[in-house]
């Protein structure tokens, strides 16, 4: 153990310096202890034919789904008059065929798909 000393005799500045040094030393010792424990656990698991992932899978959280992953695919709202199998939802950049259709002075309604019927 460490020798005891009188912290009451230290100045404010000395106590702050002592505190900072103690926090740095504590963090260093914590990293060393964690690495040691990690190594011991990995050896135990390997000796029994397991991996960390297998044993602790239920403790490792799944990465959160992105907003794009939660969004359902957009329903097509327009079709290409030259190839009706090509559609566009109306989201994002306008396709060239749509731009050309509008530039030719034609109506958007000519390439609009009928609204799906409600169930």
74 and 84 Cβ atoms separated by less than 8 Å: no
State the Cα–Cα distance between residues 89 and 104, nearest whole angstrom: 21
> Rounded to 5 degrees, what angle do the CA atoms 29, 34, 40 make?
125
C-alpha distances out from residue 72 to 27, 68, 98, Å: 46, 8, 23
State the Cα–Cα distance between residues 34 and 41, nearest whole angstrom: 10
In tens, the pLDDT along 82-110 reads: 999 999 999 999 999 999 999 999 999 99
Per domain, the residue ranges of the chain are 9-57, 64-113
| Per-residue pLDDT band at 119 (split at 50, 70, 90) | low
Within the chain, where are the H helices?
12-47, 52-56, 67-70, 96-103
Q: Does domain 64-113 have CATH number 1.10.10?
A: no
Instruction: Report if pTM > 0.75.
Output: no
């Amino acid at each position: 153990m460490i020798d005891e000393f009188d912290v009451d005799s230290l100045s404010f500045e000395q106590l702050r310096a002592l505190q900072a040094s103690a926090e740095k030393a504590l963090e260093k010792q914590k990293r060393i202890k964690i690495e040691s424990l990690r190594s011991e656990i990995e050896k135990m698991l390997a000796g029994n034919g397991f991996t960390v992932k297998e044993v602790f899978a239920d403790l490792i959280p799944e990465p959160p789904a992105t907003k794009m992953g939660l969004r359902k695919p957009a329903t097509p709202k327009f079709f290409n008059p030259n190839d009706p199998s090509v559609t566009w939802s109306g989201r994002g950049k306008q396709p060239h065929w749509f731009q050309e259709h509008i530039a030719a002075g034609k109506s958007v309604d000519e390439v609009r798909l009928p609204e799906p019927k409600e169930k």
